[in-house]
Homo-oligomer: A and B are copies of this chain.
Amino acid sequence: MRMNEGVEWALHCCVNLSWIGPDQAVTAAKLAAFYDLPTAYLNKQLQALARAGIVSSSPGPRGGFRLAKAPARITLMDVVAAIEGPEDAFRCTEIRRQGPHAASQAEDPSPCLIDEAMRRAELAWRRELAAQTIADIRGKVEERAPDFPEQVRDWYATGKA
């Protein structure tokens, strides 16, 4: 079980976009260059964020991506769901209904208890993700490195470190 690498990229990009602010758009190429990522592939992930309403995209010159909501309203769960899709990691295939006992179990309406247990665990995971926002991450970074946001803004504006 491995999570898409795009999730990590998307989260970092969201934090960076929160420093840029919603007034100007940043191109996928710039966002990719910041971390030496493949531009076209990062673009694909940003499209997923746009479809989920996390960022908004503008075409043409001066176009690019910007946050579509306040950072405090974007949870990690939102970003993960946007990239990974809404489906659970564990998917019950109802094997209890297969094999020699299919007949005796076919009409049983009660849910698979193993599925229930796994869902309970994933729910806890989702809860924890939903409790953390992009603003939280940003705040903690600023606590540790107060002048980092300014450096980021400068780099995106001038292209020079």
Residues of A within 8 A of B (CB): 1-5, 7-9, 11-12, 15, 33-37, 76, 84, 87, 89-93, 95-96, 98-101, 103-104, 110, 113-114, 117-118, 120-129, 132, 136-137, 140-141, 144, 151, 155, 161
Contact = CB atoms under 8 A, between A and B. Distances in A.
Copies of this protein in the complex? 2
A52 to B, nearest CB: 16
Contacts of A98: 35-37
B121 A33 contact: no
A95 B9 contact: yes
A99 B93 CA distance: 43
Closest 8 interchain pairs by CB? A125-B125, A121-B128, A36-B99, A35-B95, A36-B98, A124-B128, A124-B124, A100-B161
B76 A117 contact: yes
5 contacts: A8-B95, A34-B99, A101-B155, A117-B137, A123-B128
A77 to B, nearest CB: 9
A101 B2 contact: no
Given A36-B99, A84-B1, A95-B12, A125 B121 contact: yes
